[in-house]
Structure 1
Amino acid sequence: MAVTQRRGRKIMMSPAELDAFLATERTCRVATVSKDGAPHVSTLWFAWDGTSLWLYSVTRSKRWADLRRDGRVAVVVDAGEEYGELRGVELAGTVEFVGEIPRTGEPCPELDAVERQFAKKNFDLDAMVHDGRHAWARLTPETVASWDFRKLAELPSR
């Protein structure tokens, strides 16, 4: 993954911090491009495999229609309440669709690990339950920007 961040290098997450953060957080905000060119932002659960962010979306949603028409996306995952606790990451790029649409559980080795992870993380299940309404989009980010304001306390004051 390419980290293209210039500003805020002192508070950006290391690759290990980024992996740990994305492995534990559940909710992201997905920004897509609507038919009229306007941004559309919605929330979604996700999985992270160390390289790609996997979005499991309802296929009859505006988000899915936007992604099918224009695969460009920006995704933000963040956490914290107080200013000094804020941390997060923005990942951007173009999604690829993986597996059948909608997903019914047909064998797809590429989805085995991510579906196990998603089921465990979000439902405490060992296997994915498919409802025939969702499908997978994979974002292998072209750009990544992260921040961890907790590091501000560690920086020397001027």
Structure 2
Amino acid sequence: MTITGIPRTPEQRRRDVLERLEREMDIWVASADAEGVPCLVALWFVWDGEALWLATRPTNPTGRNLRTGARTRLAFGDTRDVVLIDGDVETFTAHEVPVAAAEAFLAKTGWDPREEAPSYAYFRVRPRAVQAWHEVRELPRRHLMRDGVWVV
């Protein structure tokens, strides 16, 4: 990948994003508290084809922010292959989480947050906006999803 390379089509970028959602294990999770103090952590996740599922303690800063703010920005990787996902968040206790989501999380990560004490919560992130680009040459057509609908 070089800065002089041919930009990917938006359709290729969408395919690349969906492939990363299946392949990647970690994603950066940005949130903020009521005063706007930011928090950024990497968490394991699973993609179910419509939403991303994360797990963390509901009492830590990220858990509190996701639960009370109900919004997040997620990001993959490095500055030369950017994916940003803005999403709406729903919170589920270990007893409320849909079995399929918890089992998919376990299958992908090898870890079952339902078995932990103190308890963990699951957070379903439904994408509202997705952007993806390789360096500056792909910035003009980086928006792949808006208002929860793929535009490509």
Please report the TM-score for the alignment, with normalisation by the length of structure 2.
0.70
1:114 alignment partner, SS class: helix
User: Aligned-pair distance for 1:129?
Assistant: 5.2
Are the aligned partners of 2:67 and 2:90 in contact in 1 as well (CA < 8 Å)? no
User: Aligned-pair distance for 1:11?
Assistant: 6.3
CA distance in 1, matches of 2:24, 2:41: 16
For residue 155 of structure 1, what is the aligned residue in structure 2?
none
2:84 alignment partner, SS class: strand
Cα offsets for 1:120-143 (capped at 9, x unmatched):
2212x7x77521421111111110
CA distance in 2, matches of 1:131, 1:66: 21
For residue 142 of structure 1, what is the aligned residue in structure 2?
128
User: Aligned-pair distance for 1:29?
Assistant: 1.0
Are the aligned partners of 1:11 and 1:147 in contact in 2 as well (CA < 8 Å)? no
For residue 115 of structure 1, what is the aligned residue in structure 2?
102
2:34 alignment partner, SS class: coil
Are the aligned partners of 2:88 and 2:127 in contact in 1 as well (CA < 8 Å)? yes
CA distance in 2, matches of 1:128, 1:61: 15
CA distance in 1, matches of 2:87, 2:105: 21
CA distance in 2, matches of 1:26, 1:43: 10
CA RMSD of aligned residues (A): 2.7
Higher relative contact order (CA 8 A, sep 6+): 1
| Paired residue type of 2:108 | K
Return 5+ residue gaps in structure 2 as ranges: 1-6, 139-152
Cα offsets for 1:80-127 (capped at 9, x unmatched):
xxx7xx4242111220113x3xx1xx4x5x62222222212212x7x7
1:35 alignment partner, SS class: coil
| Paired residue type of 1:134 | Y
Structure 1 or 2: more strand by fraction: 2
Return 5+ residue gaps in structure 1 as ranges: 1-8, 153-158
| Paired residue type of 1:130 | E
